[in-house]
Amino acid sequence: MIEERNAGRLLIVTWLRLKIVKSIPIHSARWIPFVDPILGEDNKFHLGGVAKDVYEGMKIFMDFNYHAVSQSDNIYGAKVNGTWNGMIGSMVENETDISGPYFIDEDRSLAVEFSDPVAFSQLTIVSGLISSNRDPFLILAVFSLPVWIALFVTTLAISAVACLIYQLLPAREKRAKMETYSKYLWAFHTGLIGKAEKTNYLLISKLVRGPTILWQAERIKRAHAIKYLGIYIDEKMNWNTHLKAQSTRATQLYHNLLKIAGKSWGVPLIHRRTLYKTVTERVLAHGAVTWCLEPTVRIARKLSTIQRPFLLAISGAYRTTSTAALQVILGIPPLHLQLQREARGTALFRLRLPLSTNVSDIDPSEIEEKAIGWSTHPSEHLSPTQISLDDGGNINTGLRIYTDGLKTERGVGAAFCVLSDVNITHRWSTRLSLRNTVFQAEILALLKAVEHAVSLPTQQLTILVDNQASINSAANPKNHNSIARKIFKLLHSHPHIRASWIKAHVGYIGNEEADRLAKEAAETENFPETPLELPKSFIKTFLRQKMLATWQMAWDDGDTGRLIHSIIPKVSLHPINWTRNEVLFFTGHGPFPSFLHRFNLAETSFCSCGGIGTPIHYATVCLLTTSYHMAPPSQQHQPIWFRSVANNSTSRRKIHNLLHFLQRETSLFRPDPN
């Protein structure tokens, strides 16, 4: 696998061996021993002497051809009446590119761009000065005419083949195929000029020794991983190199976090969590759709290792605390699940790729697409009298259309009714999928009401809507909703139609009737249904619930953090908002002899009072902490006791003060070993 920027080079390596650069004219005059002109058998002038050796060396090093032009009158160059003659004059007029050797004086130095001394003499070889009034098409002279013709014909042929393929492809595949074609056509052109030392190739194979690839007689180096758009693609396609790079970046972010947040000082816990969610998690999520759509166990384990230091820094917990417990306490899901959720969203929204059938049966073509740009010319707006956000309940004469949309547990409904004075002359309602939102129902009802109003004889009428979001969307020519744009165009072309907000459920006959029709449609299973695209909010909710279900299953089946599981049995994306002292108490990983002895940090697990130094001991029966005691539970009711204490703010405050006392009076609670 070759880096994309150099992909076109290997495809045209043989073709590039043609002589594509023109022969450079070099101007010289007889000057023994520097220039010894020789008339060849072809009756052409050839160089000899020291100059020939210099030009031959330049030819090999810079890879160009040249031909000699003789200056028969030996005029090297002088400025006469403001015009240069001789060899310098030919360079100024762009007839030759290089001339010499000859001496450079002050005047001549103003007419040359580059000079190079010949051996140790004062003679130099010079190139002409680039003038601002040169032919603008001179750059085309870098390639000969046959080469330009070959480039044009090749591009034309590739374009013709691509257009033919494009016409034969199914519509869904056209966009992806044309993007691929454009990339490789760009690689073809940009790859004409390149260097082998800047090119690497990636071999995805089980072979230990890769093939030898040559480019202009130079060997292309093999890379074990290539960085493309910030993502490392390795030869084994296991993303190990990328995870190592992400781990390095995460370590840097972690050390930066420690500079502003210590165990018991610095920014509050809630702000630390915000920094993690908005900075660290965003950095780690880069390109997740590529490598974390279906994370393996190894990737999940590596991401957990990356996430753990941040959980400890945010909570201030002891480093022996369970990662799973900290995730539940802080409301931060496992990193691989969070990245997988975002990868799935990107696959559906941006790439329009379906997920695996065991995850979802959602067809990306059914998802609502965001409309962009202006729906009409920017100078075109609705009349100021067409839209009103004031309560239109006092409008009780003339033709009025009331709309409504609602959602129940059984379905979604949209409806409108037409009132002429106090008589209902027309009713319309429809049912939507449970996947659709209330806003979609409201905006659809408004669209159908406007379409019905357009079909009526031209007269002043008002559409009364109890949803301000629908009215605001319809009045915005840059709204991203396609239905709102249709409403805007209809209202703009029919200025006699007005839309006004109305207060809901206050007894207006039309509004109550529209509400009844919408509810009837929503709760009637065999009611005619109008298909609408799935909103992004539904997809996001679905992916979030899918992630929470997977997280909940892992939390229930885990073997660590069981005490926290008895207190917080259900996972959530909202933090529990415990202080550091409360985290130490409920996890049991804190300044308690029973914990410290388990990790060989204390010689005994007993308290100075003679009991085992557990968190519940200090909170209920220890003689040294009577000021902080609470009613002790029985052995079998300890999980319930912990849960009740955690849910009571007064008890948690007492626990916080207890831990502060334990940390301040450490020597009091540890018995003297002597």
Q: Does 523 fall in a domain?
A: yes
411 with 521, same domain: the answer is: yes
Q: Does 499 fall in a domain?
A: yes
358 with 419, same domain: the answer is: no
Decide if pLDDT at 28 tops 80.
no
Q: What is the 3-state secondary structure (H, E, C) of 261-314?
A: ECCCCECCHHHHHHHHHHHHHHHHCCCHHHHCCCCCHHHHHHHHHHHHHHHHHH
**∠440-445-448 over CA atoms, to 5°?**
125
3-state SS, residue 397: coil
The β-bridge partners of 404 are: 415
Decide if pLDDT at 53 tops 80.
no
Last residue of a domain, one of 336, 366, 396: 366
| Contact call for residues 84 and 92 (beta carbons, < 8 A) | yes
* Domain containing residue 656: 578-665
The CATH number assigned to the domain holding 79 equals 3.40.190.10
Tokens of 90: 């030919």
pLDDT band (50, 70, 90) for residue 3: very low
250 with 358, same domain: the answer is: yes
Q: Does 342 fall in a domain?
A: yes
Query: Which of 81-85, 269-273, 339-343 is least confident?
Result: 81-85
Write out pLDDT tens, residues 608-627.
Answer: 888 999 999 999 999 999 99
Q: Does 271 fall in a domain?
A: yes
Decide if pLDDT at 15 tops 90.
no
Last residue of a domain, one of 498, 531, 564: 531
Last residue of a domain, one of 315, 334, 366: 366
328 with 404, same domain: the answer is: no
Write out pLDDT tens, residues 527-579.
Answer: 989 999 999 999 999 999 999 999 999 999 999 999 999 999 999 999 999 99
272 with 348, same domain: the answer is: yes
598 with 497, same domain: the answer is: no
358 with 253, same domain: the answer is: yes
DSSP assignment letter at 31:
B
Decide if pLDDT at 401 tops 80.
yes
Decide if pLDDT at 12 tops 60.
no
Decide if pLDDT at 629 tops 90.
yes
State the burial class of residue 306 (Cβ atoms within 10 Å of its Cβ: 0-12, 13-18, 19+): buried
pLDDT of residue 126: 56
524 with 616, same domain: the answer is: no
398 with 493, same domain: the answer is: yes
Tokens of 495: 């200025």
Decide if pLDDT at 13 tops 50.
no
Tokens of 432: 């939507």
Write out pLDDT tens, residues 132-175.
Answer: 445 556 566 666 777 778 888 888 887 787 777 766 666 555 56
Distance CA 91, CA 24 (A): 12
The β-bridge partners of 31 are: 35
Tokens of 403: 């709309």
Kindly state the greatest CA–CA separation across the chain.
119
Q: Does 308 fall in a domain?
A: yes
Write out pLDDT tens, residues 504-529.
Answer: 988 899 999 999 999 999 999 889 89
| Mean pLDDT score, 315-319 | 94
Q: Does 235 fall in a domain?
A: no
Token look-up 């074609």 returns 181
**Greater model confidence, 21 or 12:** 21
Write out pLDDT tens, residues 642-672.
Answer: 999 999 999 999 999 999 999 988 888 776 6
Distance CA 365, CA 312 (A): 43
Q: Does 72 fall in a domain?
A: yes
416 with 513, same domain: the answer is: yes
Total domains in the fold of the chain: 4
| Contact call for residues 583 and 311 (beta carbons, < 8 A) | no
Q: Where are the beta strands (DSSP E) in 304-411?
A: 387-388, 399-407
Give percent of the chain above pLDDT 70: 78
251 with 349, same domain: the answer is: yes
431 with 506, same domain: the answer is: yes
Token look-up 């990339």 returns 183
pLDDT of residue 185: 59
Write out pLDDT tens, residues 173-210.
Answer: 556 666 666 656 555 555 544 566 778 888 888 777 87
Q: Does 99 fall in a domain?
A: yes
**Greater model confidence, 60 or 636:** 636
The CATH number assigned to the domain holding 467 equals 3.30.420.10
DSSP of 511-541, one letter per residue?
Answer: HHHHHHHHHHHHH-TTS-B---PBPHHHHHH
